[in-house]
Amino acid sequence: TDRFSKVGSLPKLERRDIVKETKESYTYLKSRTSDLINFDLDTPNESLYVECNPQLLSWTIENLVKNAIDAMKGKGNVSVKIFPKDKYVNINITDTGKGLPKALYRKVFEPGFTSKKRGWGLGLSLAKRIVEEYHNGKIRVLSSEIGKGTTMQISLRMVP
């Protein structure tokens, strides 16, 4: 797709409403996911603007949601919450999957790391590059509990 032709070169950033952009990614994913996955979207009523590349940022959110679904083995709850904090917008993606030990919180972003039987282990390393290098944001494992689930967080600086 067009999104991957952008990886490697510096992407063009545009002022976008992150609430609207995330809702679009969420709607797209929900329509293509099993009914065994319960989705919850919690967003503010107001628009929150960031400088972003919409294609790369939507790919990143989709990747985090797909990882959440994989961690739940196709059945459970995924919640996406967007909220402002100080000068940032946080996007939290929470699942009811298998969880991660604290020792892996940073390691999951290394190229080649995977806990899946299939895949290359590149999704989260690419997501980190997109968020941190291209968008000057932060991505991290906010919290995780074995057998209960994980919350991933993207933080991006708001613009007026």
Predicted pLDDT at 4: 57
The whole-number pLDDT of residue 7 equals 58
Between CA 147 and CA 150 the distance in angstroms is 9
User: How many CB atoms are closer than 10 A to CB 138?
Assistant: 15
Share of the chain above pLDDT 90, in %: 78
CB atoms within 10 A of CB 83: 14
Report all structural domains of the chain as residue ranges with CATH numbers, in order of start: 12-157 (3.30.565.10)
Mean pLDDT, residues 16-26 taken together? 93
The reported pTM is: 0.90
Chain centroid, CA 9 distance in Å: 21
Q: What is the pLDDT of residue 116?
A: 73
What was the pLDDT predicted at 1? 54
Please report which confidence band the pLDDT of residue 5 belongs to, taking 50, 70 and 90 as the band edges: low
In the chain, the percentage of residues whose pLDDT exceeds 70 is 94
Q: Express each pLDDT in 52-106 by its tens digit.
A: 999 999 999 999 999 999 999 989 999 999 999 999 999 999 999 999 999 999 9
Q: Rounded distance, CA 124 to CA 139, Å?
A: 9
